Amino acid sequence: MGTTRTDYAADFEVPDLLQQDLTTTLTCPVIRDAARASVTSGTITIYRRDRTKFVDAGDVVVTTPTLPSYEVTSAALSDEEVEAGWEAEWTLVISGETHVFQNEVQVVLRAPHPPISDHMLTDRYTKLGRALAGTGETSFQRWIDLAWVGLQRWLISLGNRPALIVRSYELIELHTAWSMWIIFDDNAHLADPEGQWEARRKSWFDHLEHLKGTTSFTYDSDDDGDPDIERRASQPVTWIGSPGPIGGHAFTYDPDPWGYP
C-alpha cells in the first residue's frame, strides 16, 4: 500500500522582480491548512530565459521555520539582461518530504509600487471609516494590497508588465476603484437600511469596469528606460474590418473580467 503525500501551496501572488540596481531577497511562503508549513532546508535554482542557470542549487536560508529565502545581490545582476521569462525553482524539504515550487522571475530596471494610500480613499468618501468597524483592522491597507495584486494580475493577463508602466500615478484611478469596490463588497454585511452601502459597491464596480476599458498609460515596451512615444491601452483592441470609426467596429477582449484573486 502506497504512502500518502501531503500537498502544499506556494503563496506566489505575482512574478518575483529583481531590480537590477538593488539587492533583493526572494521568498517562498508555503501554505497548508491556512498556516505556514515548517521548512527544514532547501535549495533554489534560478534559470534565465534561455534556460541557462543564473543560480545553481543555491542553499536557501530559513530564518524562521516557515519562510525560506534567498538573496540576489545587485552585483550579481549587473551584467544580466533586463528581461522577463526567468524562473525560480525552489526545492524544499518539508516534514521529511521534498517538494518543488516554481515562480516566474523578471529582471527589471524599476519595480512598480502601489500608487495609492489610505488618505486617498478616505478623501474620496469621508464615511469610509465605517468599514473598519468590527474588522479588527486599523487601516485599509489589507484591501489596498488585495486590489494591487488583483490589478497586477489583470494587467499581466492582458499582456502588460506592471514593471514597464513608467508613471505609477496613471494607475491611481484604477487602483482606487478596485480598492473601493473590494472594501464595499467585503463589508456588505454591515447594517445598511438605506441601501447606500450596496449602491456604492455597485457604483464602484461599474466605475472599475469602465476604467478597465478606457485606461491607458506610458509604457516602456523594450525595457530600455525610455518611454514609448505612443501610450498603451490597458486592454487590447481588435478591429473588425478597416480601423477607424467608419470602416469597422472595435471590440475589447478581457479574458479575466474580474481580475480578482
Q: Look at residue 237 and tell me if it is in a domain.
A: yes
Instruction: Write the pLDDT tens digit of every residue in 76-120.
Output: 999 999 999 999 999 999 989 999 999 999 999 999 999 999 999
Write 27-30 long-range contacts (CB < 8 A, 24+): 27/67, 27/68, 27/69, 28/60, 28/67, 28/68, 28/69, 28/88, 28/90, 28/92, 28/101, 28/103, 29/66, 29/67, 30/66, 30/68, 30/92, 30/94, 30/99, 30/101
Query: Do 94 and 175 lie in a common domain?
Result: no
If you average pLDDT over every residue of the chain, what do you get? 86
Query: Do 131 and 194 lie in a common domain?
Result: yes
Q: Look at residue 259 and tell me if it is in a domain.
A: no
Query: Do 141 and 212 lie in a common domain?
Result: yes
Phi, psi of 38 (to 5 degrees): -85, 115
Instruction: Write the pLDDT tens digit of every residue in 226-259.
Output: 999 999 988 765 555 554 444 443 334 343 333 3
Instruction: Write the pLDDT tens digit of every residue in 12-64.
Output: 999 999 999 999 999 999 999 988 998 999 999 999 999 999 999 999 999 87
Q: Look at residue 155 and tell me if it is in a domain.
A: yes
Query: Do 89 and 125 lie in a common domain?
Result: no
Query: Do 97 and 122 lie in a common domain?
Result: no
**Given 108, 141, 167, which residue is the final one in a domain?**
108
Domain that holds residue 47: 9-108
Query: Do 51 and 96 lie in a common domain?
Result: yes
Query: Do 122 and 91 lie in a common domain?
Result: no
Domain harbouring 76, CATH code: 2.60.40.10
Query: Do 81 and 188 lie in a common domain?
Result: no
pLDDT band at residue 3 under the 50/70/90 scheme: low
Higher-pLDDT residue of 65 and 218 is 218
> How many domains does the structure of the chain reveal?
2
Query: Do 97 and 179 lie in a common domain?
Result: no
Query: Do 28 and 98 lie in a common domain?
Result: yes
Query: Do 159 and 236 lie in a common domain?
Result: yes
Q: Look at residue 258 and tell me if it is in a domain.
A: no
Q: Look at residue 1 and tell me if it is in a domain.
A: no
Q: Look at residue 2 and tell me if it is in a domain.
A: no
Higher-pLDDT residue of 90 and 124 is 90
**Given 78, 108, 138, which residue is the final one in a domain?**
108
Query: Do 54 and 143 lie in a common domain?
Result: no
**Given 85, 108, 131, which residue is the final one in a domain?**
108
Enter the pTM of the model: 0.84
pLDDT at res. 173: 95
Instruction: Write the pLDDT tens digit of every residue in 159-216.
Output: 999 999 999 999 999 999 999 999 988 877 665 656 677 888 899 999 999 999 999 9
Q: Look at residue 4 and tell me if it is in a domain.
A: no
